[in-house]
Amino acid sequence: MTFLTNDPLFAQTDRETGEPFATRSEVIAQRGMVATSQPLATQVGLEVLRRGGNAIDAAIAANAAVGLMEPTGNGIGGDLFALIWHAESGELYALNASGRSPMNLSYDELMEILDDQGDDSIPPYDLLSVSVPGAVDGWFEMHDRFGSAPMEKILAEPIYYADDGFPVSEAIAASWQRSVPMLKDQPGAFEETFTIDGRGPEKGEVFRNPDLGNTFRLLAEQGRDAFYRGEIAEKIDVWMRDNNGYLRFEDFENHTSEWIDPVTVNYRGYDIYQIGGNNQGKAVLQMLNILEGFDLAEKGFATEETLHLMVEAKKLAYEDRAKHYADPDFYDIPMDHLLSKEYAAERRELIGERAMNDLSSGVEVMEEGDTIYLTTADSEGNMVSLIQSNFRGMGTGFVVPGTGFSFQNRGELFSLDPDHPNVYAPGKRPFHTIIPGFVMKDGKPWFSFGNMGGAYQPVGHLSILTNVIDFGMNIQEAGDAIRWMHNGSTEPTDDLDSSLESTGTLHLESSIDYEVVRALRSRGHIVRIGESFFGRYQGILKDHEKGVYFGASESRVDGQAAGY
Bridge partner list, 29: 549
Q: What is the pLDDT of residue 299?
A: 97
Q: Spell 248-263 as b/e; 16+ CB within 10 A means b.
A: bbebbeebebeebebb
Q: What is the pLDDT of residue 386?
A: 98
The reply to whether 371 belongs to the active site is yes
For the chain, 564 residues long, the average pLDDT of each consecutive 10-residue run is 41 65 92 97 98 98 98 96 98 98 98 96 96 98 98 98 98 95 96 97 98 98 97 98 98 98 98 95 97 98 97 94 92 94 96 85 50 96 96 94 97 95 97 95 97 91 98 96 92 83 90 95 95 90 98 93 98
pLDDT per residue as tens digits for the range 91-102: 999 999 999 999
Domain ranges across the chain: 28-259+370-413, 280-367+462-548
For the purposes of burial, counting CB atoms within 10 Å of the CB of 196, is it exposed (0-12), middle (13-18) or buried (19 or more)?
middle
Q: What is the pLDDT of residue 10?
A: 41
Fold of 280-367+462-548: Serum Albumin; Chain A, Domain 1 (1.10.246)
Q: How far apart are CA 503 and CA 535, in angstroms?
A: 22
Choose, from 42, 72, 215, 371, the residue flagged as catalytic. Answer: 371
pLDDT per residue as tens digits for the range 439-451: 999 999 999 999 9
Give percent of the chain with pLDDT exceeding 90. Answer: 86
pLDDT per residue as tens digits for the range 270-287: 999 999 999 999 999 999
Which residues fall within 8 angstroms of residue 487, CB to CB, at 6 or more apart? 367, 455, 504, 505, 507, 532
> Taken in order 274, 277, 278, 284, is the CA torsion positive or negative?
positive
Residue 544 · residue 444 · CB < 8 Å: yes
